[in-house]
């Protein structure tokens, strides 16, 4: 993990990064979600739409995209999603470092809370985010237009930033 801490930079994405973001998210999610959903996680059109609503923070190592996370302002709350790390670098602490940077960035923008949705079938996510101070706040339905192999829903989690 110390290598990851020293070797990458974090910056906001631009429109020019959209195709790289699509590739990274789809590669990362394919590894962990293929057991319950088929196909790509996101399209180029969706990434471009997200760039209009919020921002992606990118982690780069020698100008190579290695991780990203999406943040969208919603009043005093911020939605965080699509945390993605290059599959060859997962479990090296990069996701945690990017989460910390995202939380600090939005705390400086006076966000009071960060809200996330985790997939119920990925129980390890509740533990990962729980260690970071996120608490379960309820559930919500998985998108009806996404065909799944198993029953699934979202677990809603939130973290207070100003405490």
What integer pLDDT is reported at residue 38 of this predicted model? 84
Nearest residue to 77 (alpha-carbon basis) of 138, 160, 134, 163: 160
> Rounded to the nearest 5°, which phi and psi values hold at 140?
-150, 160
What integer pLDDT is reported at residue 146 of this predicted model? 86
pTM of the complete model = 0.91
pLDDT tens profile 17-64: 999 999 999 999 998 888 898 888 899 999 999 999 999 999 999 989
Place of tokens 């207070």: 160
- Give the C-alpha separation, 81 to 50, whole Å: 11
- Give the C-alpha separation, 55 to 159, whole Å: 19
Token pair listed for 72: 């969208």
Q: State yes or no: pLDDT of 132 exceeds 90.
A: yes
pLDDT tens profile 82-101: 999 999 998 889 999 999 99
- Using 50, 70 and 90 to split pLDDT, how confident is the model at 163? low
Q: Strand 55-61 to strand 77-85: parallel, antiparallel, or no bridges (unpaired)?
A: unpaired
Mean pLDDT of 153-159: 96
Q: State yes or no: pLDDT of 150 exceeds 80.
A: yes
What structural domains does the chain harbor? 2-160 (3.40.630.30)
Q: State yes or no: pLDDT of 159 exceeds 50.
A: yes
């Amino acid at each position: 993990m110390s290598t990851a801490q020293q070797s990458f930079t974090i910056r906001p994405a631009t429109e020019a990064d959209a195709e790289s973001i699509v590739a990274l998210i789809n590669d990362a999610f394919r590894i962990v979600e293929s057991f319950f959903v088929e196909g790509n996680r996101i399209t180029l059109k969706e990434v471009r739409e997200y760039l209009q609503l919020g921002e992606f923070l990118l982690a780069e190592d020698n100008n190579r995209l290695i991780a990203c996370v999406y943040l969208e302002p919603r009043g005093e709350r911020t939605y965080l999603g699509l945390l993605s790390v290059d599959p060859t670098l997962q479990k090296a602490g990069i996701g945690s470092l990017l989460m910390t940077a995202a939380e600090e960035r939005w705390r400086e923008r006076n966000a009071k809370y960060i809200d996330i949705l985790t997939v119920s079938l990925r129980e390890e996510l509740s533990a990962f985010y729980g260690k970071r101070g996120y608490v379960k706040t309820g559930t919500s339905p998985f998108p009806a237009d996404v065909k799944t192999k198993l029953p699934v829903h979202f677990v809603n989690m939130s973290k207070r930033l100003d405490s």
